[in-house]
């Protein structure tokens, strides 16, 4: 009897794996995901956006290092904020951030559907290494 139980478990695991694969494939076909990929490609191919990203990342890294050593100033913070604002004002980046937020919202809805099942008492996206955590 225990052999039969193990076979059922293996079949159930395979079925769950298949459903997870289908869910991933379905998510990849969502219009919002397709728009996200397009917006991401625009940012990657936008020289102004790439320059602004590099500048922002450099300033942010310098600020974090200064903060860790207790040498960060309000002026340093202001420079980081200005660089971030400049970055967000670039059309391709603004579009990307908007679509990214929309995608994250849709993924949160899907997470809720999976997590709210009567027999699954866990926040699936959070506990399974949610993609959208910073």
**Does residue 17 lie in a domain region?**
no
**Does residue 74 lie in a domain region?**
yes
**Does residue 20 lie in a domain region?**
no
Judge whether residue 39 has pLDDT over 70.
yes
3-state helix, strand, coil in the chain (%, to 5): 80, 0, 20
**Does residue 133 lie in a domain region?**
no
Higher-confidence residue: 7 or 91? 91
Which residue range forms the structural domain that includes residue 87?
32-126
**Does residue 50 lie in a domain region?**
yes
Q: Give pLDDT tens digits for 45-62.
A: 999 999 999 999 999 999
CB atoms within 10 A of CB 77: 14
131 three-class SS? coil
Q: Give pLDDT tens digits for 90-123.
A: 999 999 999 999 999 999 999 888 887 766 666 6
The overall average pLDDT reported for the chain is 87
pTM value?
A: 0.75
* Domain count of the fold of the chain: 1
**Does residue 25 lie in a domain region?**
no
- C-alpha 28/C-alpha 77 separation (Å) is 38
Looking at the chain, the whole-number percentage of residues with pLDDT higher than 70 is 78
**Does residue 53 lie in a domain region?**
yes
CA 134 to chain centroid: 8
């Amino acid at each position: 009897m225990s052999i039969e139980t193990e076979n059922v478990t293996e079949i159930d695991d395979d079925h769950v794996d298949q459903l997870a694969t289908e869910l991933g494939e379905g998510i990849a076909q969502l219009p919002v995901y397709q728009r996200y990929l397009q917006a991401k490609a625009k940012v990657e191919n936008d020289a102004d956006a790439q320059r602004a990203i590099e500048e922002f990342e450099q300033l942010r890294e310098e600020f974090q290092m200064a903060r860790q050593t207790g040498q960060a100033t309000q002026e340093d913070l202001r420079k980081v904020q200005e660089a971030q604002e400049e970055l967000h004002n670039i059309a391709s980046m603004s579009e990307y951030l908007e679509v990214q937020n929309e995608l994250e919202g849709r993924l949160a809805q899907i997470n809720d559907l999976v997590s709210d099942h009567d027999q699954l008492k866990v926040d699936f996206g959070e506990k399974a290494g949610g993609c959208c955590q910073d």
